[in-house]
Structure 1
Amino acid sequence: MTALTHSASVVVAATPDEVYDLVSDVTRTGEWSPVCRACWWDEGASAVPGAWFTGRNEVPGRTWETRSQVVTAERGREFAWLVGGRLVRWAFTMAPVEGGTLLTEEWEFLPAGLASFAERYGADAQAQIEDRTRAALDGIPATLAAIRAVAER
Structure 2
Amino acid sequence: MTSIIDLNELRLTRQIWAAASPTEVYDLISDVSAMPKWSPNLVHAEYDNGYRPTVGAWFSGRNKADGIEWDTRLKIVSADPGACFAWSVVSDGSEIVTWSYTFRSENAGTTIEESWQVKKLIPPLGTTREELLQLRTNTARSMEATLSSLAESIGNGNR
Q: TM-score under structure 1 normalisation?
A: 0.88
Other-structure match for 2:151: 148
Matched, 1:139 2:148: no
Matched, 1:30 2:33: no
Other-structure match for 1:106: 115
Mark the runs of 5 or more structure 2 residues left unpaired by the alignment. none
Matched position secondary structure for 1:23: helix
What count of residue pairs does the alignment treat as equivalent?
147
Q: Percent identity?
A: 32
Bigger share in helix: 1
After superposition, the CA RMSD in angstroms is 1.9
Other-structure match for 2:71: 65
Amino acid at match of 2:55: P
Other-structure match for 2:104: 95
Amino acid at match of 1:23: I
Task: Give the ranges of 4+ consecutive aligned residues of structure 1 lying more than 6 Å apart after TM superposition.
Answer: none
- TM superposition shift of 1:27: 0.3
Q: TM-score under structure 2 normalisation?
A: 0.85
**Could you list the per-position Cα deviations for residues 6-35 of structure 1 after superposition, in whole angstroms to 9, with x for gaps in the alignment?**
101111100000000001100001100111
Matched, 1:11 2:17: yes
Q: In structure 2, what is the Cα distance between the partners aligned to 1:151 and 1:73?
A: 21
Q: In structure 1, what is the Cα distance between the partners aligned to 2:142 and 2:105?
A: 24
Mark the runs of 5 or more structure 1 residues left unpaired by the alignment. none
